[in-house]
Amino acid sequence: MAYLELKGIEKFFGEHRAIKGVDLDIQPGEFIVFVGPSGCGKSTLLRLIAGLEHIDGGQLNLDGRDITHLPASKRDLAMVFQSYALYPHMSVYENMSFALKLAGESKQVIEEKVTRAASILNLTDYLDRTPGALSGGQRQRVAIGRAIVRAPKVFLFDEPLSNLDAALRGQTRVEIAQLHRDLGATTIYVTHDQVEAMTLADRVVVLRDGLIEQVGSPLDLYDHPVNQFVAQFIGTPQMNVSPLNTLPAAVQAAAPAAAKGGSIGLRPEGVRLTDVATGVPAKVVLVEALGAETLIYVKTNEGAQMVARQADRAHVQVGAEVGLQLDISTAHWFDAKGRTVRTPT
C-alpha cells in the first residue's frame, strides 16, 4: 500500500481544469520530484497535497488516512516555500521554534529539536541572528530547519533554490540530498530545473497541462522517454529532434516503419562534427566553449537545427561550413504524433 496516494486528483480555477485527474503512489522515504514547463500544474499539485488549495475531485490518502479535505494544519506535512516565508523580526531560533510553540511543546522539547536541526543544517552559530543578517542560502536552510523540527510525515519543497545564484544552488542541492539521506523522510520537490530533478530524485514525475506524462527514475526517463515531450524535457542540452523529411535519405531509410512521417531524436553526444564531404552539410550558428566540453549549435541545409556536444575543445567559428555525423544507433524514433516508436537498446 502506498504511503501517500493520489487518486484522480482534480482542481478547477473557474472553468479552467488545472489538474486533470492525477493518480500517483508514493512510497515511504521516497524522494519524488515534480518537473514540467511553467503552467503545467506542478506547484498547484503540491499545494493541493499541502492543503493550501481545495481539492475539487479525487482522494488524497496519507499513511492509510483520508486527508482530502483536512486543513493544512492537520495533515502532518511541512512545506518549504520558494520565498523562504521567514518572520523578519524573529531570530533564527524563534523562526524555527514558532510552530512548536503554537503546538504547545515544552521548552525542553523545543530546545532539543531546534538544536538538533540547527546542527544538521550548520546553523548553530546563527541562531541569534535575524533573517536580514543571513545570506540567501542560510535563509533557505532556516526555512528547511523550520520544517525539520516539526518531524512531519512528508516534506514538501516548492522550488526552494530558484532564488539562489548558481553556486549556491549547487551547494544547497547537495545539502538537500544529504539531508534526505540522513533523515530518510518522504519528500516531494517541485522544480522547473530538470538538472535538479535528475540529481535529487528517486523518481521523477513529468507533468504537462495538468496531467502526468511519465513517472520513472531519472535515467529511465532519459533513456526511455514515452514521447517527444519527455525526451526533450529531460536532458541538458535538450535532445535534438528533427522531422525525418529534413534529413538525408539514408537517415530516413533507417527509420522504423511506424516512424515514417515522424521525427528522429539524437542526444547532443550522438551528433559529431566531421568534414563537409563526408557528413550531413550544416553551418555553425553558435559555439559555447564551457571548458570541459563544447556545445556547437548548427543548422543543416534542409533547416534542421541541432546541437553537438564534444568532450574536447572545438576550433570552429560561427558561420563555418561543417559536416554532421549522426550516430543512428543512439537514435530515438517518434511517430507523427510525437509518441516514441523505438529507443536505443
Sorted by sequence, the CB contacts under 8 Å of residue 127 that are 6+ apart come out as 91, 92, 93, 114, 118
Residue range(s) in the chain whose domain bears CATH number 2.40.50.140: 237-342
Whole-model pTM: value is: 0.89
Give the chain's end-to-end CA distance (angstroms, integer).
Answer: 32
d(CA 120, CA 137): 15
3-state SS class at 16: strand
d(CA 176, CA 144): 9
d(CA 201, CA 299): 34
The three cell numbers of residue 219 are 535515467
Which amino acid belongs to residue 12? F
Residue range(s) in the chain whose domain bears CATH number 3.40.50.300: 4-223
Alpha carbon distances (Å) from 204 to 17, 232, 292, 299 = 23, 15, 28, 32
Quick check: 92 and 129 in contact, CB under 8 A?
yes
Class of domain 4-223: alpha beta
Which amino acid belongs to residue 120? I
- What is the chain's pLDDT, residue by residue, as a tens digit (345 residues)? 689 999 999 999 999 999 999 999 999 999 999 999 999 999 999 999 999 999 999 999 999 999 999 999 899 999 988 888 899 999 999 999 998 998 888 999 999 999 988 988 889 999 999 999 998 888 888 998 988 898 899 999 998 888 778 777 888 888 888 888 888 889 999 998 888 999 999 999 999 999 999 999 999 999 999 999 999 999 989 999 999 988 888 889 999 999 999 999 999 999 999 988 888 999 999 999 988 899 999 999 888 899 999 988 888 999 999 999 999 999 999 999 999 999 997
C-alpha dihedral sign at 127, 130, 131, 132: negative
Select from 3.30.1300.10, 3.40.50.10420, 3.40.50.300, 2.40.50.140 the CATH code of 237-342: 2.40.50.140
